[in-house]
Amino acid sequence: MATRFLMIGLIFGVVVSFATMPGTAAIAETEVGGAGAGLAKIIRGKTVCRDTNKEGASCGVERWTMYVHNNGVRYLHVIAASNTFNESRHAMVRVGADNHVKEAFMSNVAGAGVLGSTYVVLQGLGAQVTATDIGFDGATGEPKTEFVDAFDAADSIGTGPNSGDGLNFLDYDFEAPGEQPHSVYWAGGSRQGTMVGGFVTSEYTFLGQEDLTLADGQTVTANHFRMLSGTEIWVTDPDCGILKMTLNFGPGVGLEFETTELEITVEGLAQ
């Protein structure tokens, strides 16, 4: 247990250090010779939120970095600030070479302090979750561990930042288009009363590839998906970095996310 929480602390330190990097430039793809051994690609983005219920008022901003390793393993680091829910979340998600999310860590800052943190590992028909409910009324702040059951095979993890949601589509089977069921573990937070979350089953449908024009006028080829709720999302091909999303469920109805800055760095040691 001590080893696990040492690892969590190290992960959180890495998340914070990368999340506070300066803003990226507009869309660019740059060759970097000899740098970043073990990395094939680095993708950095800034994604902004607008509330269509409030005449497009700003509802938050997310800065994220995706590291794609030569062997196919990906890490996504995110810092997301939400005006709507008065919180910020630091998150890191690991994806295996098989395009399946494996584990994630998230720390939630809400109101005057830290609400809590959670570490999730997907295991078959569920998730092993270790969480601390530091900021909840009556909580001791002591770590608690429990196994959360899923209705079907666990596919992915949602940590809260919307820029992490693109990873939920990495394992979509393009050879069998149409509606495909997926079971995603969603981390807890203030609305659940605990950092321990639960599973939600949905269906994803691939609507095709589109040339999506971003804020600076440059165009990116995007994979366009629709969820069972009617939420639509556009992500980069093949790494599933978020480009655009319109939410149509729960407290997020009417929120729109758009990536306004995107920088892709192709490493020189990709062989």
Q: What is the pLDDT of residues 144-170, one digit of tens each?
A: 999 999 988 899 999 999 999 999 999
Which has more confidence, 62 or 214?
A: 62
Give this prediction's pTM: 0.84
Q: Distance between CA 103 and CA 119 in Å, rounded?
A: 8
Structure confidence at residue 251 as a pLDDT band (50, 70, 90): confident
Sequence-distant (≥ 6) Cβ neighbours of residue 210 within 8 angstroms: 221, 222, 224, 234
State both tokens at 254: 């009417």
State both tokens at 112: 């005057």
pLDDT tens digits, one per residue of 36-82 = 348 999 999 999 999 999 999 999 999 999 999 999 999 999 999 99
Confidence at residue 27, expressed as pLDDT on a 0 to 100 scale: 41
Confidence at residue 210, expressed as pLDDT on a 0 to 100 scale: 97
Structure confidence at residue 268 as a pLDDT band (50, 70, 90): low
- Find out whether 143 and 4 touch, Cβ atoms under 8 Å: no
- Burial class (CB within 10 angstroms; exposed 0-12, middle 13-18, buried 19+) of 113: exposed
- Write out the E strands in the chain: 28-32, 39-51, 57-69, 74-82, 87-95, 101-110, 113-122, 126-132, 144-149, 156-158, 180-186, 198-213, 219-227, 232-236, 242-246, 255-267
Sequence-distant (≥ 6) Cβ neighbours of residue 175 within 8 angstroms: none
Confidence at residue 84, expressed as pLDDT on a 0 to 100 scale: 85
Counting residues of the chain whose pLDDT is more than 90, the rounded percentage is 73
Q: Distance between CA 2 and CA 130 in Å, rounded?
A: 12
- Find out whether 200 and 217 touch, Cβ atoms under 8 Å: no
